[in-house]
Structure 1
């Protein structure tokens, strides 16, 4: 199973587990094609950025949408976590008051 942080690392090309196994995975090859397509469709905005910068930019712009996609069907008591403002547990849905992503783990470097 992959966590939100793992998905962020994969999107940004930082997944140490896959990279250290050597060679590019099918997923990485597909992501390169996807980001090349995004770059070509947004040349005026993205043409000065490197592929790595485009991946970082895309993640920053879409991480909240990815979070919502991961948790949208985690109803009821399936996704308990501490709340952002108190020492209580969240109910029903996992989110902060501003509906933002309640973690910054996707920006913490991986450790093995």
Structure 2
């Protein structure tokens, strides 16, 4: 799952070579992001325990700041009756599946027509 991959918490059990390649690419990407930060921001992400420079805190913060946009991009092609395999909305009194282009239907004046991004913090084996 994208959030777990970015944050370095993926339970991927496939090809070790591919996983190593993926982690190396993510490390390079976040090193470039780190290099573009202002010095005071770099201090926040410099972890003496992170001897391999994986930038886990930066990755976590990046995901927190960008996950909604990533989820929107993932489901941008969702059709009207596409849905998640688990119930995500409360359309009436009980939970229901998000069948409105994988989003909860907007009701009232609030910002409820959103992608259910809370899935990314549910352990993979429960999704």
| TM superposition score category, shorter chain reference | 0.7 to 0.9
The CA distance in 1 between the partners of 2:13 and 2:62, in whole Å, is: 21
The answer to whether residue 4 in structure 2 is matched with residue 9 in structure 1 is yes
Of the two structures, which has the highest relative contact order with CA contacts closer than 8 Å and spacing of 6 or more?
1
Secondary structure of 1:95's match?
Answer: coil
* Partner in structure 2 of residue 70 of structure 1: 74
Moved more, 48-57 or 73-82: 73-82
- Listed as ranges, the gaps of 5+ residues in structure 2 are 48-54
Q: How many residues are paired up?
A: 107
The answer to whether residue 59 in structure 2 is matched with residue 45 in structure 1 is no
Is the contact between residue 76 and residue 92 of structure 1 (CA under 8 Å) also seen in structure 2?
yes
Distance 1:89 1:95, change over 3 A: same
The CA distance in 2 between the partners of 1:109 and 1:91, in whole Å, is: 23
The CA distance in 1 between the partners of 2:61 and 2:14, in whole Å, is: 21
Output the aligned Cα RMSD.
Answer: 2.9
Q: Which has the larger radius of gyration?
A: 2
1:41-92 CA distances to partner (integer Å, 9 max, x unpaired)? Answer: 1133243224111010001001100110010001232336746232455444
- Listed as ranges, the gaps of 5+ residues in structure 1 are 1-5
